[in-house]
Structure 1
């Protein structure tokens, strides 16, 4: 039996990864699904059970350290081990820094607690168990963590922080048999950007990015799982992403223009 712990599993990439793992592993999969929405989480767990897998829904707010540690404890209590931790929970944001009022700037810190600290706390709690199983850690980052995207100063900062943490951790675990896979999705057809923060720290209700050619959540999830199974260091989702990370060393101004071009006209800085 392989035990997977997946955060942000109530919808989007996390939910689809759970369903795909349930279908491919069947009765050999035990899924511990974490998110804040218990009803949606239980719905995904039922779908996984229908595919033959074992599944537990654990309501978790990864912005709370105690809940991250409780999630890991419950996974071990239920199944006795952890083979893979998928740090997928995240919140998006779209706002020009100049549009954020001083009294609203606190949501930058809130975003960091979810996107960065949530992954740190879950990983720290699960690490002894992952070392024992010589398992896998997956961190779902973003292309905005490879190239700073205008209008996404807060979001890019959280993902750059995540990248630095997991790159360093990968080196620390080099001889422990634990793999660390960083996944870098581009624009994926999920609701994350619509629920993310606007300049006032409220739900944006819309995306500031051009959505044409968005990758399906099924394809994105498939690529992350393939990278995890192959113990790849990185999974960069798009050709633009692969090109951009090298181009920013050679022609950073060009990369900035490409990033600006990805924004809708109404949210571009003027």
Structure 2
């Protein structure tokens, strides 16, 4: 009984502390009303859904997309005629800002450009300062295109992905930090379980997500030491039903994807409440990490069992 008490009491204490910490403040949509927010990678998927949630809450939204072609018909209406997948995607993307306005955004703007070009990151921040007068929340969500397969040894691809998925995040943070310091704002970094645990078939992508974890966790420590009133929220996501994820991994993964709409809302809630980390969904992300330090080989085995490698597409 003594041993059981020694185990249960600390665990119970941690659970109670977690419940107390989590209940300190409840999220309210009006917390975002009038806030100035940048959302990168908002042309589709989670980023698009975050833009819509923020618009409904009355925020001023500045969104980004990869190319001007996707943005050139912002005020156009979505046609019903038959078109190619690429053309249809461009038309759909061009509606993001217009829909944000219709949903009640304080304002909605967009900036196009490749995040591989660090000049784009500076341009985004300059637009936010010039047109929004400042910045309250920076949501870093964009990601470069990669493959879902065995690592092919292409170092050039790893370098390109590091530029887009990691270095551009650093560059945007550096550029936006003066505004965020003035507003006491928040940095929200959309990451992945692949940045906490080694996953097969995503080697370059996983490397960039581990880099994000290291950089922003270390930066948070320095902010605390220097009493910088800017929060950093790392969002650890599992398998989400975005178009890209479904196309790449749906046939290979033995799990059901979580909805991008709900995921987007949880990210916004966590960033607004200045949480250290957001895990979505909790059971499939946070709980497996409990095994990482205590039973790493078991966790590796459980990870591998989630895949059907025979269904990988031929490179």
Q: TM-score, normalised by structure 2?
A: 0.76
Aligned residue for 1:4, secondary structure, equals strand
- What's the offset of the Cα at 1:16? 0.3
* Secondary structure of the structure 2 residue equivalent to 1:218: helix
Displacement, 1:258? 1.5
TM-score normalised to structure 1 length: 0.88
Q: Which residue of 2 aligns with 1:224?
A: 267
Is the 1:187–1:211 contact (alpha carbons within 8 Å) kept by the matching residues of 2? no
Task: Identify which of 40, 64, 68 aligns with 1:7.
Answer: 40
* Contact 1:15 1:44 (C-alpha < 8 Å) held by counterparts: yes
Q: Are the counterparts in 2 of residues 84 and 135 from structure 1 also a CA contact under 8 Å?
A: yes
Q: What SS is found at the alignment partner of 2:293?
A: helix
Count, aligned residues = 251
Give the root-mean-square deviation of aligned CA atoms: 1.7
Q: Specify which of 165, 168, 177 is matched with residue 218 of structure 2.
A: 168
Query: Which residue in the other structure is 1:95 paired with?
Result: 149
Q: Bigger radius of gyration, 1 or 2? A: 2
Aligned twin of 1:202? none
Q: How does 1:201-220 map to 2 (within 5 A)?
A: 206-207=248-249, 209-210=252-253, 212-220=255-263
Instruction: Summarize deviations over 1:10-65 as a string: whole Å, max 9, x none.
Output: 1101110010011122xxx1111012143355411111000121100110211111
Tell me which of 300, 303, 307 is aligned to 1:256: 300
- Superposition map of 1:13-28 within 5 A: 13-25=46-58
Which residue does 1:35 correspond to in 2? Answer: 65
**Displacement of 1:105:** 3.0
Unaligned runs of 5+ in 1: 195-204
Aligned position for 2:119: 66
Shift of 1:188: 0.2
